[in-house]
Amino acid sequence: MDSPDWINNTTVADNIVVEIGFLIASSFYTGPENDFTPEQWETAREPLYSPNVERYGDFILSGVVAEDVPELVAYYKDVLRLADLHGKDCDQQGHYFWMRPLVLQRGLFAMTFPWYDTMSETDSFLQQIKATDDGQIFWDIDQGWEMEAFALGDWLYLRESNPDENEDHFLIKCNKKQLQSQLDPLLSQIGNILRKLRYEVGADYWSTR
């Protein structure tokens, strides 16, 4: 089996964590949906409820949410309140409900899947990297972003890059079993979280778009 050349340039990363992040906005856009000016986009806003929990950049990680779902519920209910107040279609406000997988080593790096928005996309990645066979077990590409996962023996090799610029962002290898052992508990955890969110807000804004 041929291996890609890039795996020879990877760096060992210990204590890799796989998480799911809920992207949190600080404000709600109240202006027109079309033909708005840059000034309107910047100024036509109202502050959103800020969940009183630990953040990882702009994300609240699922491990944190699991301990305090009501804080995330309060944020989403505020999104819906402001959408109703300003006459906006809730089904068109999907960017306030974005969620995506993250592969990270705290304090060092985070692969954040910038084009993923939903649980269906997140689940697709998590299911594919469960693979036990050697070889390429995951690949995806979008504008300015490419993600690859290659398994070989005890190792899982991960590459996040910008193919448009021929630039690698992260090249790492980690213990495959250590990473994969996190996946089923994570999927169970996020399933419980999403059930609670759907119940509390009365609709499913996370599964698909």
For each of the chain's 209 residues, which pLDDT tens digit applies? 689 999 999 999 999 999 999 999 999 999 998 899 999 999 999 999 999 999 999 999 999 999 999 999 999 999 999 999 999 998 899 999 999 999 999 889 999 999 999 999 999 999 999 999 999 999 999 999 999 999 999 999 999 999 999 999 999 999 999 999 999 999 999 999 999 999 999 999 999 87
Provide the residue type at 201 as one letter.
Answer: V
C-beta atoms surrounding 129 within 10 Å:
20
Q: What distance separates the 2 farthest-apart alpha carbons in the chain?
A: 59
| Cα–Cα distance for residue pair 201/168, rounded to 1 Å | 40
